[in-house]
Structure 1
Amino acid sequence: MNTLDATPASSASVLDYFKLHFIVLIWGFTAILGKWLTIPAVETVLYRTLIAAVVLAFVIKKKDWKLPKKIIIQLFFTGMIVGAHWITFFAAAKVANVSICLVGLSTASLWTAFIEPIFNKQKIKPYEVGLGLVIILGLYVVLKSDLENDMILGLVLGIISAILAALFSTINGKFTHLAEPNTITVLEMSGAAIGIILFLPFYSAYFTGGEGIDMVLKNNELYFPDGHWFVELINTIPYLNTDIIMIFLLAIICTVYTYSVSIELLRRISVFVTNLTINLEPIYGIVLAAIFFNEHEKMDSSFYLGAAIVLFSVLSYPIFNYMNRRMKKKK
């Protein structure tokens, strides 16, 4: 096949869903790594995409590079959409706060409910639209204590980031049948890196407060409440640059592994279900922050209520999908 005409097969196993939740958990861990890094977010993403692309370029089999030029170009530009998604995500957090950014991003499921059927030439499913709206409500309840007024620009940027996420996820749902996941990842990470490099002059002028771009990786003593053997070990090793360790963990584990696996899972799990599940990332992130940094203040009654709403949306999708198929058979 050399055209975007394939749709995901509906043959996901329990292990596939476990893998999906596992990679979402890892993405939740990126906030922990980010807290230990000393360089800003956009520079971090540039390192992340460049290293991921270079590492994968060395491990991909020669036969997996044999793709039509049209597909290679499409994958490269899809990577630029990924880069734009990350840029608008971090810009939303910069001009507003992380919570408003995440509320905006939570609309990705809603946009996917419209974009995926359009790409696949299918009817829009009302229950997917409904679950997308419920997800937004759930994350609003989780994050409402951190929301502030007059943050419209941040919310708009978060929503743009969500639309871009829905778009590149839907496109990847097509590409996953045309190329190997690692090949897709290396081409898209290359496109994302180039896109971010092109954005750097604008970023330096308007988003750094006049301080310019900071690409210097530093040695920073890691913080962990009450100590931890791994962190204590890293802190005692001389000439060890902690930024380099965190960047490589971010690039290899949180990007190469998770992105490739997520693309491979799109062969069996729909884009909507994938983006619906990804909404658990901030919840996993809050739990991990409580474990790693003793930040238990966010785990109040609103957190548990909102988390329950999000979990209800994720877990109820198979039921709604089953009922929808039954109704079609009766017709």
Structure 2
Amino acid sequence: MTKLPVTPNKNLLILHFTVFIWGFTGILGALISVNAVQMVWYRVLIASISLFIYFKLSKTSLIVTKKQFLQFFFTGSIVALHWILFFHAIKVSTVSVTLVCLSSFTLFTAILEPLIKKQRMQVADIIIGLIIILGIYLIFKFESKYTEGIIFGLSAALASSLFGTINSTLVQKSNPLVISFYEIIGAFFWISLYRVFDQSLFTEQFDLSVNDWIYLSLLGTICTALAYVAGVSVMRTISAFNVALITNLEPVYGILLAFLFFGTKETMSIGFYLGAIIILGAVFLYPVYRKYKNQH
């Protein structure tokens, strides 16, 4: 069957929808009643099964070398850690606090990428990083009751930056969808191994509420498997600049959704919003600066 051409505007809409879905994961994290480790275990189990079915139906080859498999498999442990830290941050604070802290991955990427890829750190990267640190300081100062959530949110951002930087290297030689599949399989293995050691896996009853099953199904299929497939498929035809700008809308979408779902629970102090504006402003300026630097 001949595939219809996909227009750039349609790809942009698909990418916006994908980022919107990513923002919605925070809402599901707050709605699901189980703890963060258990939630991510169910998420990657459902997502890996969904992706496997997709690959079989689309007849996508999953063949990789032993070295590639091990790289993807071990990177999956960082993906698992990121998701656990992210959902735990939501459990002990709010969706808004967690998503704003997650935006600091730009700061960590500016530090980690030159170290991992053995490049020189740029002065402008350091300046952007310092601006983000100022925003984080304001959030700590005015929302000290959420200190644990802020720490876990920042830790989730660090983990996100680490596997994002690793993937930016791996994607040069492998299909991004195949990478995602094996990383999710890896995430499932490492979380299962952890749950064997803490013995929680042996007492898993699968007796969740109907709502939990519905939310987990959405999290595993729509917010993980579908988002991976849709996001990667359109990113190949959209400029890196547009991808960066639209991806940075994730906390904005998430915070707006949090207000719709949880109302006054998501209301923060003026200091929080000032810090959030500083962080998000720096995050949006970052791709503008990178584009300008590349052109000159």
Report the Cα offset of residue 193 of structure 1. Answer: 0.7
Counterpart position of 2:206? 216
Assess if the C-alpha contact under 8 Å between 1:173 and 1:270 holds in 2: no
Q: TM-score under structure 2 normalisation?
A: 0.76
Q: Shift of the alpha carbon at 1:103?
A: 6.5
| Deviation for aligned residue 1:97 | 3.6
Report what 1:125 is aligned to.
Answer: 122
Structure 2 contact 26–90 (Cα < 8 Å) conserved = no
Deviation at 1:188, TM superposition (A): 0.8
What is residue 227 of structure 1 aligned with on the other side? none
Bigger shift: residues 20-29 or 261-270: 261-270
Which position in structure 2 is the counterpart of 1:35? 30
What's the CA shift for 1:201? Answer: 4.4
> Would you say how many aligned residue pairs link Structure 1 and Structure 2?
283
Provide the aligned C-alpha RMSD in A.
Answer: 3.6
CA distance in 2, matches of 1:46, 1:269: 34
TM-score, normalised relative to structure 1 = 0.69
Contact 1:38 1:217 in 2 (8 A): no
Tell me how far 1:263 sits from its aligned partner: 4.7
Judging changes above 3 Å, is the alpha-carbon distance between structure 1 residues 144 and 253 closer, same or farther for their aligned structure 2 residues?
farther
Residues 15 and 235, structure 2, Cα contact 8 Å, conserved in 1? no
> Which 5+ residue runs of structure 1 have no aligned equivalent?
1-12, 206-211, 220-240
2:160 counterpart of 1:170: no
Structure 2 distance, partners of 1:266, 1:172, is: 14
Pairing of 1:265-284 with structure 2 (within 5 A) = 274=244, 280-284=249-253
Q: How big is the shift at 1:158?
A: 4.4
**TM-aligned CA deviation for residue 54 of structure 1:** 1.0
Q: Is the 8 A contact 1:289 1:295 kept in 2?
A: no
Q: CA contact under 8 A between 1:176 and 1:263: conserved in structure 2?
A: no
Q: Give how far 1:190 is off.
A: 0.6
Taking a change above 3 Å as real, the CA distance of residues 196 and 162 of structure 1, as seen in their structure-2 partners, is same
Contact kept in structure 1, 2:22 and 2:223, CA below 8 Å? yes
Once the 2 structures are TM-superposed, how far is the Cα of residue 29 of structure 1 from its aligned partner? 1.3
- Any residues of structure 2 matched to 1:118-267 within 5 Å, and which? 118-138=115-135, 141=138, 145-148=142-145, 151=147, 157-201=152-196, 216-219=206-209, 241-263=210-232
Measure the CA separation in 2 of the matches of 1:132 and 1:179. 31
Distance 1:158 1:38, change over 3 A: closer
Q: Post-superposition shift, 1:259?
A: 3.1
Residues 112, 167 of structure 1: 8 Å contact kept = yes
- 1:78 counterpart residue number: 75
Partner SS state of residue 294, structure 1? helix
Higher normalized helix content (fraction of residues): 2
Q: Does 1:114 align with 2:111?
A: yes
Give the partner amino acid of 1:309.
I
Q: Counterparts of 2:85 and 2:113 in 1: how far apart (Å)? A: 21
Q: Displacement of 1:260 after TM fit? A: 3.8
Give the Cα separation in 1 of the matches to 2:84 and 2:114: 26
Matches within 5 A, 1:11-22: 20-22=15-17
Q: Which amino acid aligns with 1:134?
A: I
- Larger Rg: 1 or 2? 1
Secondary structure of 1:65's counterpart equals: coil
Counterpart residue identity of residue 262, structure 2:
F
State whether structure 2 residue 284 is matched by structure 1 residue 315.
yes
2:3 corresponds to: none
> Residue type matched to 1:75 in 2?
F
Distance 1:119 1:255, change over 3 A: same
Structure 2 residue runs of 5 or longer lacking an equivalent are 1-7
1: distance between equivalents of 2:67 and 2:192?
Answer: 23
| Rounded Cα–Cα distance in structure 2 between residues aligned with 1:20 and 1:128 | 26
Q: 1:44 to 1:301 in 2, by over 3 A?
A: same
Distance 1:139 1:17 in 2: 30
Q: Output the CA distance in 2 between the equivalents of 1:254 and 1:266.
A: 17
Amino acid in structure 2 at the alignment position of 1:243: D
Identity of aligned residues (%): 38
User: Secondary structure of 2:172's match?
Assistant: coil
CA distance in 1, matches of 2:150, 2:177: 33
Corresponding residue SS for 2:145: coil
Out of 159-168 and 85-94, give the one that drifted further: 85-94
Query: Alpha-carbon deviation of 1:108?
Result: 2.2
